[in-house]
Chain A
Amino acid sequence: MSTTTPPKPIDDAVGYADDRFATAGFLRGKMKKVFPDHWSFMLGEIALYSFVILLLSGTFLSLWFKPSMSEVIYHGSYTKLNGVSVSEAYDSTLRISFDIRGGLLMRQIHHWAAVLFLASIMVHMLRIFFTGAYRKPREINWLIGITMFTLAILEGLFGYSLPDDLLSGTGLRITQGVLQSIPIVGTYLFYFAFGGAFPGHDFIPRLYTVHVLLVPGLLLALVAAHLMIMWFQGHTQFPGKGKSNNTVTGKAFYPVFLIKTNAFFLFTFAVIAGLATFAQINPIWLFGPYTPDSITAGSQPDFYMGFLEGALRIMPNWETNLWGHTIGWNVLIPALVPLGLIMTGAALWPFIEQWATGDRRIHHLADRPRNAPFRTSVGMATVTFYGLLWLAGGNDVLADKFHVQLFWTTWIFRVTVIVGPFIAYFITKRICIGLQRSDAAELDHGVESGIITMMPSGEFVEVHEPVKENAEAVLRSKPVPAALPDAGEDENGIPSPASRGPLARARKALNNAFTADDIPMGNGHADGHGEPQVTAPGANGDDSTQDAAVEGGDHKELSRG
């Protein structure tokens, strides 16, 4: 088939591999695999490459780091701590920072990469959520993603706890306090994890094994699964002219994507290296070694732990003592509920949506967030919830910088963390519906051209031009909601018992939430100048194709703006 043979050495190498692994047949189809292009598709790549950088820099650090809590007297380049009794973990981290060439750079690269890893995972997840890219067939990959996110948070916490400095030790102390508060098994978990009393001598070495072996191993396996599934199922793409659910538009893996993705790896690495060069992170020599009775004001964890910290701060001081047993709700609820709500909610969401909408179709076209108002609004409510908790984690800093009473900030967050998500929900919903209306109007009336013409009657009107082809395809891509499968009626028209139970009612209500705010797009020409009708739920029952059909461009019209 090929028109030319590659140069002999390459051909020989290909032949050698092919005779043993049938590489040509295996790779033939993969080389031309198409990857759609959009900036938001690179968010996951940032996470992937941050992980690679974490593995590389982490390996470097492990050559010198000593995960030990044995006390040593520090004597090194950081003279201010000379003669101070510190743990070997802290001592070796200082040594990496000041006595190993490039050690500080690698430490800062490692820490910045961890921050970027978590940040890019979060933004990547938001992109997936708001565009509905988790829908069939990608639900399992979504779950893998959530698992990796959870592991990454833990891995980050474990990582910055290792140097045994004052800040990380305080974090460990809080972790221990949370562990201890768990009903029934809490004190046992605490004593088993720490090998006895806090801080003990066992925890840092144990944490180290978990941090450098267990969690990275799990993450590596999950990353591999994540990528293989993505490769197998293909990437989603955004609607547009010529884009459809059955095709994928883009450039071939080899050579375009391969060069691009390598460039992107290098960009990610360059940004992290730049940050590590010019932006100091986790200066443990300033914090000092950990002792359980020291603390500094303004103690903040890394940003991804901030929402848990905020929850701990604003929780009212509820505690119950019943039958000789204490349950510290003031610790349990903030430690478990926000994380549990967000992670469990995110994990269940694809299945809830499928159940409520009855939509079991394959989706390769990403949704525009406005076209799924319920999902977008719930997503924004969650973002608001998370964001407020995160801000609450720095309430002392906020109180200081904005000259607000400290206790007021606590109360403000106590109220807004409950009210805020509802407000965000309603505002987002109105914005989505408004955007849908403006989309519909654009399709029906065209775009204001800015040209005023005089009608024969002497009337002045603005010429409306039809929407450009690509934009029209985007506007018309709005999916038609799938109909909820009818539970069925008997011959007398009485709905079957299955459709009357509480579960069925819940399903109906949810279905209503998913489908209610649906402004029909482009139902012909200028048939009404009033508000587009809101369809009744389930009115658009037909399972119409989602192909972004492109109509002829005969939309030219004059319209009374």
Chain B
Amino acid sequence: MTDNNETSGATPEDEGRVPKRVIGTPSPVGTQELLPGDEPEQGGTGYVLDEKKARRAERVAAAFFTLSFVAGIAFIVFYAVWPGHVGNINRAARSNYTLGTAMTLILLGLAVGLTIWVRHLVTTKEIVQERHSISSTPEDRAVFNQYLQEGSRESGLGQRRLLRRTLLLAAAPLGLLPLVLLRDLGPLPEKKLRHTAWKNGTRLVVDGTGQPLKASDFNSPGSIITVVPEGAEDNLDEIATGAVLLLNLPVDQLKVKKGRENWHVGGIIAYSKICTHVGCPAALFEQTTHHILCPCHQSTFDALDSAKVLFGPAARPLPQLPIGVDSQGYLIATSDFHEPVGPSFWERGRPKV
């Protein structure tokens, strides 16, 4: 270690109670002294303290330490005696203010007191130390090198090829073990990312209430509601892929894609709510423009035109869920989504149009 332990210098002049030389150090080097004028207002560090000022500083520091003590007692009393900490949110807020204020004062009092102490009462003087070279001496290195060579020769690893190679051979599978052991972290994705809980006949139920929805009940134009597959209302994993935005759009303005003519029910149309960018729920709907906006990264989709991307980082339209009406008038899916929902992934392939 090249600790800069040797101090050099503490000016000889005007020292009273401070030793002329720092204990165990060589004599000061003239050029490294600091002129007294260079450190004004340092609280007399290194010099005889003005006893009057020092006593005042001591009293101020003591006052802050006392404040800290009082705050400490207050904290304990608040905590142990005062009954109203928990039970409702107002109590929690009050508890936070009282305990927090006491704690802040404990810490602040100590901090300020210590600062006054070190600035006005500590008499240590600024010193200049040599920085020693960091690297070892040439002898050290020579000896080290010699030992290194000797050791490796004595170990015989250099000459004994069989030993060396089998040793490396043994290490290789050992290094792979942690990776192999992690295999059971999860199942393989397989085709799971391509499917959701929707299938032909699944009723659309309202998110939150779990009630199935009749087409005749969802009749106000421009309205929007989140629906999930019946039976998956409480399954977050299914909701994370199967959440659907149900919109009631003016059927005359709807630009229906070829092959999707019977995917909507008189203007009631269903798009995946899971944004094709990184999977946030695309939850905002502007009624006047019929734009769907994802609040996370502002991908904007045109609800009238197969949810095609109008702006933002999403690359693909929100997948559309084909819907119909069952015999009782409830809205149902007529199949699963025809493409994977949510963010892109490597195996996704070309989007099927």
- Report which A residues bind B (CB closer than 8 A): 1-3, 28-30, 32-34, 71, 77-79, 85, 97-102, 104-105, 108, 137, 170, 173-174, 176-178, 180-188, 190-200, 202, 232-234, 241-242, 245-252, 255-256, 259-260, 262-264, 266-267, 269-270, 273-274, 276-278, 285, 291-299, 309, 312-319, 321, 324-328, 330-331, 334, 362, 364, 395-396, 406-407, 410, 470
Q: Are A184 and B315 in contact (CB under 8 A)?
A: no
Q: Are B342 and A193 in contact (CB under 8 A)?
A: no
Choose from B31, B110, B124, B126 the contact partner of A266 (Cβ within 8 Å): B110
B350 at the interface (CB under 8 A from A): yes
Q: Are B124 and A174 in contact (CB under 8 A)?
A: no
Residues A251 and B126 in contact in the complex (CB < 8 Å), given A295-B283, A319-B316: yes
Interface-centre pick from A32, A259, A294 (highest chain B CB count, 10 A)? A32
Choose from B38, B237, B343 the contact partner of A241 (Cβ within 8 Å): B38
| A263 nearest in chain B by CB position | B114
B222-248 vs A, Cβ < 8 Å mask (1 yes, 0 no) = 000010100000101101110100000
Q: Are B129 and A248 in contact (CB under 8 A)?
A: yes
Which among B93-101, B137-145, B321-329 touches the partner chain? B93-101
Chain A residue contacts of B92, Cβ below 8 A = 77, 97-98, 104
Q: Are B5 and A263 in contact (CB under 8 A)?
A: no
Shortest distance between the CB of A548 and any CB in chain B (Å): 12
Choose from B23, B114, B192, B349 the contact partner of A2 (Cβ within 8 Å): B23
Chain A residue contacts of B342, Cβ below 8 A = 177, 180
Chain A residue contacts of B100, Cβ below 8 A = 105, 108, 273-274, 276-278
Residues A248 and B96 in contact in the complex (CB < 8 Å), given A192-B185, A255-B122, A294-B281: no
Q: Are A34 and B298 in contact (CB under 8 A)?
A: no
Q: Are B111 and A331 in contact (CB under 8 A)?
A: no
Interface size class of B (residues with CB under 8 A): 35 or more
B192-208 vs A, Cβ < 8 Å mask (1 yes, 0 no) = 11000000000000010
Of all A-B residue pairs in the complex, the 10 with the closest CB atoms, nearest first, are A29-B5, A277-B100, A177-B278, A319-B315, A293-B243, A266-B111, A292-B240, A328-B344, A263-B114, A270-B107
A277 to B6, CA, bound (A): 46
B187 at the interface (CB under 8 A from A): yes
B287-329 vs A, Cβ < 8 Å mask (1 yes, 0 no) = 0000000111111100000000101111110000000000000
| B343 nearest in chain A by CB position | A177
Choose from B111, B243, B343 the contact partner of A263 (Cβ within 8 Å): B111
Choose from A34, A316, A318, A396 the contact partner of B129 (Cβ within 8 Å): A34
Chain B residue contacts of A2, Cβ below 8 A = 23-24
Residues A294 and B283 in contact in the complex (CB < 8 Å), given A77-B86, A102-B99, A248-B128: yes
Choose from A71, A85, A184, A277 the contact partner of B103 (Cβ within 8 Å): A277
A396 to B280, CA, bound (A): 16
Q: Are A3 and B34 in contact (CB under 8 A)?
A: no
A298 to B115, CA, bound (A): 42
B266 at the interface (CB under 8 A from A): no
**Interface positions of B from 101 to 143, Cβ below 8 Å from A:** 101, 103-104, 107-108, 110-112, 114-115, 117-118, 122, 124-131, 134
